Amino acid sequence: MNWLEDFCALAETGSFSRAAEARAIAQPAFSRHIRALEEWVGADLFDRSSHPTELTAAGQKFLPLLKQVMADLEAARIKAMAAHAQHGASLRFAATHLLALSFFPKWLTRLETRMEVGAIQMMSDSFQACEDLMAQRRVQFLLCHRHPQVASRLDEFAYPKVCLGTDVLVPVGAPASDAKGEPTHRLDGDDAVPFLAYGSTSGLGRIVASQLRYKPMHADRIQTSFVGPHATLLRSMAIQGRGIAWLPDMLVHEDLQDGKLVRAGGPEWDIPLEICLFRQPSDMAPVAENLWALVSA
């Protein structure tokens, strides 16, 4: 089973180092697992000369059949656990940092008025780490921000999803010292704009980087001055006047009302977002299937 999990991780990431990290094992051991599986199959499953690593014809034929077998095994395991003990009905969520703190508690409270939820395990991390948890089937659901034009691994592998709400990334910065409500840095000016950027593992960072290519500003005016892992840190840096950040409205709505932050550009600079819940494509515990049926309806 470990070899098969390793195979799926490499097929999804296209990188031995990323896949080994996602599987929490050393890369040499990971490579030995892949080679041992190929020896068992009797054919090379990956083209190691390509970058990123790609499946061979044998690997392409092997992958969908393997996924079905593993899905059936997972479904059998879950059903056995559910029949054996009550803990088989627990819910396991992964969520990005901001949504785990600001959206999930209120959403859960509303959900509990309509169904018996029971025990819950929540894992909060970067979007990339949450993707890995889903790929490893360590969680049943992933709560995250999403943009329709910026595909993730979950989209590429057709994980079922439902939109729970909307949000918007707003370009904000500290107000100028003259107390007239104007931003210290503005997007419609001629000067360079110090940019507070998300780290490479951030889902919001992927969205911002993708959508800025379509905005009416030359790229050479954006000068990255700080890179942070999540929106709450970038908010603090923006309040200190260190630059402009695209931050979710749910995080900065009160800051804009109180004047701690001001818009650095008009609505044409906003980036709309969806708040999505992804689920595992295979059968889940009954309480998880009940939750999905409820939110899907």
What is the full per-residue pLDDT of the chain (297 aa) written as tens digits?
A: 889 999 999 999 999 999 999 888 999 999 999 999 999 999 999 999 888 999 999 999 999 999 899 888 888 887 777 666 544 447 999 999 999 999 999 999 999 999 988 889 999 999 999 999 999 889 999 999 999 999 899 998 899 999 999 999 999 999 988 667 788 888 887 788 999 999 989 999 999 998 887 765 555 678 899 999 999 999 999 999 999 999 999 999 999 999 999 999 889 899 999 999 999 998 888 889 999 999 998
In this prediction, residue 164 carries a pLDDT of 96
pLDDT score for 124: 94
Please report the pLDDT score of residue 89 as a whole number.
47
Helix extents (H) in 117-262: 127-135, 153-156, 203-212, 231-239, 249-258
What radius of gyration do the chain's Cα atoms show? 22
Q: Which residues pair with 93 in a beta bridge?
A: 122, 141
SS3 274: strand
What pLDDT score does 62 carry? 94
Please give the pLDDT value at position 87.
Answer: 47
Evaluate the omega torsion of the peptide bond into residue 105 and state whether it is cis, within 30 degrees of 0: no
